[in-house]
Amino acid sequence: MTHVKKTLAEKILDCFPSGAYALHAFLQLLEISESRTVETAAVECRIQPRLLVNPDFVATWAETPEKLLMLIMHELHHVLLGHTRLFRCVTKVDNLVFDAVINALLCRMFPGKAYTSFFTDFYDQRQFPACLLRPPLGWNPGSYPAPPIALRGRKTKALAEVHRALYSEKGATYHDIFEALLSSFEEVMASCVLLLGDHGDVGSQFGRLDARSPLLFDVVRRIVERWPQPPDPIRGRSLADILKEEQIAVSRKPSNPEILRKLLQRVAIAGQLGRGASRADDETMTISTPLPTFDRRSVVLSALGAPNLLHAAQLYHRRRTYGEKVHVYLDVSGSIGNLKPVLYGALLDCRDFVYPRVHLFSTKISDVTAGQMRSGTCFSTGGTEIGCVAEHIREHRIRRAVVVTDGYVGHPEGLDKETLAGATLGVALTPGTSTRDDLAGVTNHWAQLNQGSIQ
């Protein structure tokens, strides 16, 4: 029986499990080419992007489908996360930090030895800084036996601690690793460790990916959204890490509470104009006054002959109410990152327009009260799925809702799309990288929150 030798492109396509990782989108995305101009692999970010893979490197270090998958996914994560956008001037230290984060993320996504051996075979645990780019011997998601050999005898324990965090439930951010490397900069810069992917000025990490290859930016995002997530997502990696450059003219901008308040008002009174879009209600409040009144305390003190300088009195006033209270769905997925405290504060400032419980959503709905929001309570699975919002709206027959999100929630389809389109829906997009694409077909009112209010 004759065996036909597979091309490298066929091997790459075969290493993706059937029916997973949005394979059809991947097939349409890249032209896969063998190239010895790159040491490992690189994505050329052009109008028609290409995936360049060094066949010699694959034959030596990625000879199995599992190892080849880890190599390709490593490079695609560089594309997605746009790492050079996090720092103005990228050094060898920065690139080492980027790779350490990606490798740890991939090991937690695919903890099997067939996959993690790609990193343990390629990087020697006895060599620094290569030992930072691999899990320790005997590692699995529930066990961290001991740090790599090269980290055990170092003067500072910071690197061993941050490595443990990378490969544990705690997780570690880019800045955690960067700070731990402060005393080892010269050693890293002088090292000959080979980093995976392309870290030069022609690959996936250079410049504005969304401007150079909008097709690549959009499709890769959708591919990675379908990849399996680790059981305990590591902090610091999400769509919130894709930063864009923009020129901001100095001007007075409304605060985020003002923007949210206006959006809530539009949703609350939508369709009610001309028949009671707003109403005035009588309310009372208790005040203290030096003028004598007939409140019970004053009468008792007077009968006892005790002096009473202040008396309680009821003050009547009219308060204008706009439409219905609006149900707010707040995106608390990993891509929102450190914006959550600011969004909590903005919603608390608008509580007069908001239904008493705010609906936090990731891939599930969790309700929080104003008191829980003040104390910083948050529940999240780490992922994002607009389907849980549509299901909640449908189940509770909600007519008016505002979704606060970065927009990367997936396209609603079928009954979910019908549910969202049938409600009066407003969307407030968070500062930074956000998109209207996913919710464009179901949203009635849009608002863009300001970056300036986050500072």
- The answer to whether the pTM exceeds 0.85 is no
Provide the pLDDT for residue 391.
Answer: 96
What one-character DSSP code corresponds to residue 188?
A: H
- Distance from the first to the final alpha carbon of the chain: 67
The CATH fold assigned to 258-268+324-454 is: Rossmann fold (3.40.50)
Q: How far is CA 26 from CA 74, 308, 406, in A?
A: 15, 80, 24
Does residue 358 carry a pLDDT above 90? yes
Instruction: Report d(CA 288, CA 282) in Å as an integer.
Output: 20
- Confidence class of residue 170 from pLDDT cuts 50, 70 and 90? confident
Q: Nearest 5 degrees, angle CA 99-CA 222-CA 392?
A: 115
pLDDT (mean) for 397-414: 93
Query: Residues spanned by CATH 3.40.50.410 within the chain?
Result: 258-268+324-454
Q: Which of 185, 132, 186, 122 is nearest to 159 (CA)?
A: 132
Residue 325's contacts (CB-CB under 8 Å, 6 or more residues apart) are: 268, 353, 354, 355, 356
**Longest pairwise C-alpha distance within the chain:** 114
Average model confidence (pLDDT) for the chain?
78
Does residue 42 carry a pLDDT above 60? yes
Provide the pLDDT for residue 454.
Answer: 41
